[in-house]
A and B are shown apart, each in its own frame.
Chain A
Amino acid sequence: MSATDDGRGGGVPIRDARRILAAHGGSPAAPGGESLERQARPSSVPRLDGAPLLEGHQIEARDLMGAPVAAFGAFLDGIQRSVVIGYLDITIPVVHGTTAAAIRERDDRTLHTWSDGPIVERSLFLPAALAGTSTMSALAASGIPVHDTLPAADPVALRHPAELLGLARQAVQARREQAEERLAGAWCASARTPLYVDGGIGGFAAASRSPLAVGVVKSHHTLYVDADAVATVASLRPGQRTSAFVVATRRRTRVASWYLRLRDTGAPLGGLVRVEVAEAGFDSARADQISGWVLAEREPVALPDSRWDVMAYGIRDCEEYLRAVAG
């Protein structure tokens, strides 16, 4: 896999970026500020979004047949970190974003980084139209990768600074998802064993149609069931899954999905994950089989991660690895 920088600690010379910004009327932000990801709050309230069923006529709790079997050959995850390094014209934030993604392949129960290694990117994110061409040209001339945070179709107008920060964070997230998608696509094109993806796979063009990619979603800001099925989901016992349904959004591929209880933590959504697989070729037996694969990853427990009840150890390993290499 290629990276925009060496991925080993090089990257954007923030000092150069600050110097250029200062030369164009910018003001530096205090160093050591909290990342945008930590500051971020959900932009919408949790919601229910009933989805079309692929099994039966209503959401049901289903017992799995057979013992869980470890079948995943690798784990995919990505991380991101966005920090404001300064402002142009006092209100336009300039964000330094780091994104990284990697596949950790399992061989003889031990995880190693797959292929050429991780994809690590360090770039600046700012609204190009608001920053002005001279600033953008100076940054580009210095060799610093720069990404525009304003959607192309949006009108150019001054925004609320918090909105600009939100756009920057989304842009960073998009870069991270692109890196994950590249890796997932590469895996599905060349490997033969299933890939455990942290999060949904609907955003991955190729992988979302591959029988090898299995997305495991840990957060449930949106529950894809109607109100009368919430109790069914919340009362799943460890090892049970729900009926499968289709998750489809405007910009994502349709995927088959279902809820699966990994552990009983006493909380309604504790130990609950949502599995996503390609819709093509889906049937109940495959849902049971894949659920068994996910259940097999409950051990070793991903402690001391706070999301240990829903996180596979391979994903924790991936995150630790990326933190180490991307800093």
Chain B
Amino acid sequence: MGEILGRVVATERRPNTPHQFNFWTALDAQVGIGTIVRVDGKIPVAGRLPKVYGVVVEGLSYSDLETPLHDVLGADGEPGRADDAPTRRTEIRLYTAAVLRHIPDDPLQPVPLGAVYLASEADVQVALRMDAYLKPGASTGIPIGLYRAGATSSPIYLDADFLLGPEAAHLNITGVSGLATKTSAVEWLLSSIFAHFPAQKGSVAALCFNVKGPDLCFLDQPATRLDASDLELYAKLGVPAEPFKHVEYFAPYTARGYALNTLRSNESLSHNVRPLTWGLREVLQYAEVLLNKDDVDAKADALIDFIRERVVDQDFHDDRLATSHRVQSFTDLERWFRDVLRAMEEKNQEVWRTHHVATIRKVRNRLTNISTRCRGLVTDDGTVSDLPWGVFQDRGVYVVDVANLEEDAQDLIFARVVTQLRERLEKRTLGVDHVVVFVDELNKYAPADGPDTYVRKMLLDVAERGRYLGLVLFAAQQFRSQVHRRVVGNSGTALFGRMDSDELATPGYATLPPTTRTKLSTLDKGELMVRHPHFTQPVFVRFPRPAVLSGREGVERYPQADEPTLEGAVVRALRPLDRSITLDWVKETIALADEDEVLRARNRTLQVRPDDVQAYFRSQLKRRVATESVGARTRPAIRTSPGDDPYAF
């Protein structure tokens, strides 16, 4: 039963309703905004004594004075004298609680007068309807944090069916930047999901887009700052305080192509960092991501479709062209365009296969320009190094580092990766049953205002239909009000860290009581307000620091490697495949090759990952070198010009 915390009070002017009630407490009662309480009714309803659970949303304090002026007069205008009075003035603590649950819930009646108790751990489970999904042997609870009030310390669970689908899905987290709330909360929650996601619901992996700095660059490294209170939280919530066991990193190359464009470039961490490079085939499908509506009208769209369906990856013959083509890379595509345009010029034609020369020139310009705009990601030669589609691992984390990329490249990566996830989940060929996609800065990718971009459309699609596929969006942003309503609205679960008061003044937060908004603007690090479909009111919880190395500490402990030389870049790339590779060997091997050739050979070696790395790498160079060498060694026949040939042929 516990000690009585307070008593429900109702007056004609301040009545209780089925949704809200008032109660008073002693001045030193352990209660505050967010505290969960239980009311025990005294009069049976439908044969049962009613119990009502509520969460405190408002608190008032006042004395028996009618006006502050009386206090001023009583103390002769001297504030210090008020404390000299031999008797303390009568004071009341009056709280308003929003109802979380009635038992029985039918008939729904106003909250009865009765004693108020601090909710116990069992009460909290009932109040938040967690008892429905924490049944022994069939639990789908995912710990999100610990609720604390007075002596009560109760784990709060989200329902996996409503977090990862299929009932509801997606999570949105909002909070001011710089307080390590958003990223930390997601890292913590992923650990919790991996520890508690029910085996009967299948496998789950996470794909995180690292959009700024080193935030997600050290998820496989242990944290250094976990204190006793964090460890206690981990123990209480049943989550191992350890970094993620299986993490793979993917990053495009820098524009120069020597090193990967990531802050996780320290050689000691390179074992699980892979290049992310795509060729023509991978990019062409998402050309519209990079081409705005001015670029792609119906005619251009038709030509792109023609190229995609009739030209790429197949032998292309046309009598008007000088040669047959097999377009597999941007270089091949450029060669094909040149041939088409030459043929048209030769025959003085303005139209080729219904496509006007101006359209062809425009599409050529826009498409071939992609490899320049997304240099480092898109390769001219078609070399592909991609995510491990089809072999995603259960409880694996895949980080795609797009932090230092241009916006075009970010959009392209975003669009292709998420589309691939969706398609493969639909066909059940990804390797796992559920994927959590974490995207920060959502107000940039799915803004409430602005153009209707491909990325925004795709995020809307994921938000609205992803839960049926197991594709779950965990999105974060500083300003929720600036994110598209349908993306936010489709997030079954919402987390709120410390909020900016300007943001809290926007209409989206009008449903929260003023005190809750004030509490949100002063939340400590590690505190969250949680909204979840099972909870009729938001709940405040505390979560532990993530058990992974923070980005800031990570870059100090594992400083970024210097931009390597060409030889160094090859060593750095190939060493994880073959530890015997030395700088001298590389220098000797590539001595006669040019830079593009070396980088191409490196990329192909990384793509194929052969057993004999050195031989394969050398073969890639040899083939080219040999061809050129042969060419160089072939002496042209000495031809004498006929005397009557004025053109010397």
B489 proximal to A (CB < 8 A) = no
Provide the bound-state CA to CA distance between A157 and B649, in Å. Answer: 159
Inter-subunit contact A303/B90 (CB<8 Å): no
A296 interfacial contact with B, CB 8 Å:
yes
Q: Which of B62-70, B208-216, B625-633 contacts A (4 or more CB under 8 A)?
A: B62-70
The answer on a CB contact under 8 Å between A296 and B70 is no
Q: Which of B65, B75, B82, B88 contacts A304 (CB 8 A)?
A: B65
A110-B88 in contact given A299-B81, A303-B73 (Cβ < 8 Å): yes
- Give residues 275-331 of B contacting A (CB, 8 Å): none
**Cβ of B86 and Cβ of A303 under 8 Å apart?**
no
A304 touches B64 (CB 8 A): yes
- Distance in Å: Cβ of B87 to nearest Cβ of chain A: 5
CA distance A70 to B73 in the complex (A): 20
User: What residue in chain A is nearest B82 (Cβ atoms)?
Assistant: A300
Contact, CB under 8 Å: A111 / B66: no
Distance in angstroms between the alpha carbons of A301 and B64 in the assembled complex: 11
Within B76-106, which residues are at the interface with A (CB < 8 Å)?
Answer: 81-82, 84-90
Within 8 Å of chain B (Cβ to Cβ): is A282? Answer: no
Contacting residues, chain B, for A316 (C-beta < 8 A):
64
Residues of B within 8 A of A303 (CB): 65-66, 70, 73-74
Note all chain B residues with C-beta closer than 8 A to A313. Answer: 85, 87, 89
Task: Report yes or no: A320 in contact with B90, Cβ–Cβ below 8 A.
Answer: yes
Given contacts A299-B81, A299-B85, A304-B66, contact A317 B73 (CB under 8 A): no
Distance of A111 Cα from B85 Cα, bound (Å): 13
B82: chain A residues within 8 A (beta carbon): 299-300
Among A297, A299, A314, A317, the residue within 8 A (CB) of B84 is A299
Which residues of the partner chain A approach B84 to less than 8 Å between Cβ atoms? 299
With most chain A CB atoms within 10 A of its CB, the pick from B70, B71, B73 is B70
Closest chain B residue to A314, Cβ basis: B87
Tell me if A182 counts as interface (CB < 8 A to partner B): no
Q: Please tell me if the beta carbons of A70 and B65 are within 8 angstroms of each other in the complex.
A: no
What are the residues of chain B within 8 A of A314 when measuring CB–CB? 87
Contact with B73, one of A109, A296, A301, A320 (Cβ below 8 angstroms): A301
| B164-211 at interface with A (beta carbon < 8 Å) | none
Nearest residue, chain B, Cβ from A108:
B88
Interface CB pairs A-B, < 8 A, 10: A111-B90, A299-B75, A299-B85, A300-B88, A301-B70, A303-B73, A304-B70, A313-B85, A313-B89, A314-B87
Query: Which of under 10, 10 to 19, 20 to 34, or 35 or more describes the interface residues of A?
Result: 10 to 19
Verify A299–B74 contact, CB threshold 8 A. Answer: yes
A193 to chain B, nearest CB (A): 12
Closest to B76 in A: A299
Bound CA–CA A98/B199 (angstroms): 70
Q: Is A237 an interface residue (CB 8 A)?
A: no
Q: Is A24 close to B, CB under 8 A?
A: no
Q: Complex formed: what's the CA distance from A296 to B81 in Å?
A: 12
Residues of B near A147 (CB, < 8 A) are none
Question: In the complex, what distance in Å separates the CA atom of A53 from the CA atom of B137?
Answer: 90
Give Cα distance in the complex from A299 to B88, angstroms. Answer: 9
Cβ-defined contact, A320 with B74, below 8 A: no
A109–B88 CA distance with the chains assembled, in angstroms: 5
Residues of chain A within 8 A (CB-CB) of B64 are 304, 316, 320
Q: For the complex, what is the distance from the CA of A110 to the CA of B66, rounded to whole Å? A: 20
Residue of B nearest to A69 (CB): B86
A109 to chain B, nearest CB (A): 5
Of A110, A303, A304, A316, which is in contact with the most chain B CB atoms at under 10 Å from its CB? A303
**A300 and B74 form a contact (CB under 8 A):** yes
Q: Which of A263-307 contact B (CB under 8 A)?
A: 296-297, 299-301, 303-304
Contact present for A70 and B70 (CB under 8 Å): no
Q: B residues within 8 A CB of A110?
A: 87-88
Beta-carbon nearest neighbor of B70 in chain A: A303
Instruction: Assess whether A317 is in contact with B87, with CB atoms less than 8 Å apart.
Output: yes
CA distance A304 to B63 in the complex (A): 11
Instruction: List, in ascending order, chain A residues with CB within 8 A of B65's CB.
Output: 303-304
Q: When the two chains form their complex, are residues A106 and B87 in contact, meaning their CB atoms are under 8 A apart?
A: yes
Determine the distance from Cα of A147 to Cα of B66 in the docked complex, in whole angstroms: 39
In this complex, what residue of A is CB-closest to B67?
A304
Q: Which chain A residues in 120-146 approach chain B with CB under 8 Å?
A: none
Instruction: Give the complex CA separation of A141 and B299 in angstroms.
Output: 106
The smallest C-beta distance from B536 to any residue of chain A, in angstroms, reads 34
Residues from chain B with Cβ under 8 Å of A317 in the complex: 87, 90
| Chain B neighbourhood of A111, CB < 8 A | 87, 90
Q: Known interface pairs A299-B75, A303-B65. Does A109 touch B70 (Cβ–Cβ under 8 Å)?
A: no
Q: Which of B66, B71, B86 contacts A109 (CB 8 A)?
A: B86
Give the residue of A106, A304, A320 whose beta carbon is less than 8 angstroms from that of B86.
Answer: A106
Chain A residues contacting B89 (CB-CB under 8 Å) are 300, 313
A301 neighbours in B (Cβ, 8 Å): 70, 73-74
Cross-chain contact of B87 among A109, A304, A320 (Cβ < 8 A): A109
How many Å lie between the Cα of A296 and that of B82 in the bound state? Answer: 13
Closest to A317 in B: B90
Which residues of chain A are near B88, meaning CB under 8 Å? 109-110, 300
A306-327 contacts to B, CB under 8 A, are 313-314, 316-317, 320
The interface residues of chain A lying within 8 Å CB-to-CB of B70 are 301, 303-304
> What residues of B have a CB within 8 angstroms of the CB of A70 in the complex?
86
Nearest Cβ distance between residue A10 and chain B, in whole angstroms? Answer: 16
Q: Nearest Cβ distance between residue A189 and chain B, in whole angstroms?
A: 24
CA distance A313 to B88 in the complex (A): 9
Q: State the Cβ distance, B67 to closest chain A Cβ, in Å.
A: 8
A9 to B85, CA, bound (A): 33
Q: Which residues of A contact B67 (CB under 8 A)?
A: 304
The B-contacting residues of A in range 58-91, CB under 8 angstroms, are 70, 72
Cα distance A317–B90 when bound, in Å? Answer: 8
Query: Once the chains are docked, how many angstroms separate the CA of A297 from the CA of B86?
Result: 7
Instruction: Point out the residues of chain A lying under 8 angstroms from B66, CB to CB.
Output: 303-304
Chain A nearest CB, measured from B313 CB (Å): 86
Interfacial chain A residues near B90, Cβ < 8 Å = 111, 317, 320
Seed contacts A299-B81, A320-B64; 5 additional CB < 8 Å A-B pairs: A72-B86, A299-B74, A303-B66, A303-B73, A313-B85
Bitwise, A182-207 to B at CB < 8 A (1) or not (0) is: 00000000000000000000000000
User: Taking the nearest CB of chain A, how far is it from the CB of B321, in angstroms?
Assistant: 99
Q: 10 closest A-B pairs (Cβ-Cβ)?
A: A70-B86, A301-B74, A303-B70, A299-B85, A304-B66, A300-B85, A109-B88, A300-B89, A313-B87, A110-B88
Residue of A111, A297, A301 ringed by the most chain B CB atoms within 10 A: A301
Cβ contacts under 8 Å, A72 to chain B: 86
